Each structure stands twice: as structure tokens, then as C-alpha cells.
Amino acid sequence: MKRILRIGIMGGTFDPIHRGHVGVAKQVKERFQLDQVLFIPTGDPHFKQGMTSASPQDRLVMTQLAIRDIDGFIASDMEVCREGVTYSVDTLEELSRLHPNDSFFFILASDAATQLHRWYRVERLAQLCDFIVVSRPGYPFDEALIHNLGLVPGLRYVLLDGLSYDVSSTGLREALAAGESVEDWLDPAVAEYIRSHGLYVGHESDGRS
Ligand code: NAP
């Protein structure tokens, strides 16, 4: 009989993907004994329509480059290829159809998790996966977060502290635009892709994380 797979879902805009994303996913994979982690760059994110800097295709390629040699890490184009606004519930419905016997674990940062109760069809989403909420510097597990998570009926979640890295894609975009070196935070192949495609040059802060 086929073994049930434990599959992590690492969704994000990945604009650009950095060592913080990959480092968190590696630690979660080990702690939760996940068989795979699917990195799914968003297409047109629900709360950020038209706000990303690099194109979905560029964000997908950078994601592929960043995880290319890591065992069990897979980049998925399913949201980039989907027409219209990206909703996680559509992604999990599709994954559940493709892998009806497997278990899904959605890895989410604490800042994004405070808004989870506002996500499209979140009750259905909560039936399709467990959530692993990872704290992010500046976004502790506070009362507001616990309260908001409690607003989602049937939500199964765990809070994981102390895994995150003090880095953000916003900070990297700003540093790149200012011509500063951010090599420490990027896979060399991602850094080269950004350079050769002229990404994030002259980008102005948009105030988002
Ligand atoms: P985001 O801006 O890329 O991420 C939000 C925060 O989490 C940022 O601090 C980000 O750091 C960090 N991060 C990104 N991916 C992470 C991950 N997988 N684990 C831990 N930290 C992570 O993305 P977002 O727009 O909030 O979306 C995150 C996921 O939630 C995506 O899969 C998105 O489709 C989903 N989402 C769904 C809905 C909906 O269905 N209605 C609404 C909102 C979000 P960096 O800035 O350094 O990347």
C-alpha cells in the first residue's frame, strides 16, 4: 500500500526568495518529518493585487533556482499558471484532488497568519490542511494573533517560535535598488538571475513586507 506523504506548503510571493524562506522550510521539514515541501510562488496575490515587483515568471524561476539541489523541495507553478486572483483554498482543493491520501501542512509567517481569518473560504481551507505558524521578528505570538486564529472554525495549527531569520524580501528589494550587497541572503544563482535580468533596479519602497 502506498505510504501517506506529509507535504509542506510554502506559499509566498518570493519577491525575491531568500535564505530565510529556505532556512525556515528546512527546519520545518525536519521537525515535522515532512516528505516534501512544495514552494508555490503566488500568481496575483489576493491582498496584493498588482503590487509585486518581479513578474510571476521571474519569481517562479528564482524559486526553482533557490531550491534546485535540496532533497524533497519542489517548486510548483500551479498558482503562477492559474488565471485571476490567487486563493490558497483553490490551491489546496487542487492538491487534495491530485493527492487524495496525503496530508498537507501550510507554513505561514506570523504576520500573514494574523489575517488568516479574512482569507477567502478559510473554513474550507482549514479542512484541507494544518497550519504551521512561524514567528517573524517584530511579529510575536501575541493575543491578537491567537484571537484571530480562534475565529477560524476547525483550524488546526501549531506555533513555532525561534526559527525565523531577520530578513525580508522588502528589505532585500530596497537594498538591491540602493546598489547594496545582499549576497549573504541570496542563493548565488538567484543573485545572478536578478543581476542579469535587471530586477529590482530603481525599485521604490511600497510599504509592504
Ligand atoms: P508574503 O508577503 O510573501 O509573506 C508574508 C510574510 O511571510 C512575509 O513576512 C514573508 O517574508 C514571510 N514569508 C513568506 N513566505 C513564507 C513562508 N512560507 N513561511 C514563513 N514565512 C514566509 O506572502 P503573503 O502574500 O502574505 O502570502 C503568504 C501565503 O499566504 C501565500 O501562499 C498566499 O497565497 C497565501 N495567502 C492567501 C490568501 C487567500 O487565499 N485569500 C490571502 C493572503 C495570503 P518575506 O517578505 O521576506 O517574503
Nearest-CA residue for ligand 1 atom 37 is: 88
Cell reading at 58: 521571474
Q: For all residues of the chain together, what is the average pLDDT?
A: 92
Put simply, whether the predicted model's pTM sits higher than 0.85 gets the answer yes
The pLDDT > 90 percentage for the chain reads 81
In a domain, residue 183? The reply is no
pLDDT reading at 48 higher than 80: no
- What pLDDT sits at residue 83? 87
In a domain, residue 191? The reply is no
- What pLDDT sits at residue 208? 45
Residue 56 Cβ inside 6 Å of ligand 1? The answer reads no
Chain segment 138-170, per-residue pLDDT in tens: 888 999 999 999 999 999 999 999 877 889 999
Cell reading at 115: 489575517
Residue 109 Cβ inside 6 Å of ligand 1? The answer reads yes
CATH number, domain containing residue 11? 3.40.50.620
In a domain, residue 30? The reply is yes
In a domain, residue 178? The reply is no
pLDDT reading at 12 higher than 50: yes
| Cβ atoms of 41 and 12 closer than 8 Å | yes
Question: What are the distances in angstroms from CA 16 to CA 24, 65, 138, 182, 187?
Answer: 15, 11, 20, 11, 11
Residue 16 Cβ inside 6 Å of ligand 1? The answer reads no
pLDDT reading at 24 higher than 50: yes
Q: For residue 35, give its domain range.
A: 6-166
- Kindly give the distance from the C-alpha atom of residue 11 to the centroid of ligand 1, in angstroms, as a whole number: 6
How many independent structural domains does the chain possess?
Answer: 1
- What pLDDT sits at residue 49? 59
Lowest mean pLDDT among 48-62, 75-89, 112-126, 181-195: 48-62
What residue has cell string 541570496? 186
Instruction: Determine how many CB atoms are found less than 10 A away from the CB of residue 31.
Output: 12
Q: Is the dihedral of CA 1, 30, 128, 63 positive or negative?
A: negative
Residue 111 Cβ inside 6 Å of ligand 1? The answer reads yes
Nearest-CA residue for ligand 1 atom 15 is: 12
In a domain, residue 198? The reply is no
Atom of ligand 1 nearest to the CA of 208: 2
Cis ω for the linkage preceding 153 (within 30 of 0): no
Q: Is the dihedral of CA 160, 135, 86, 37 positive or negative?
A: negative
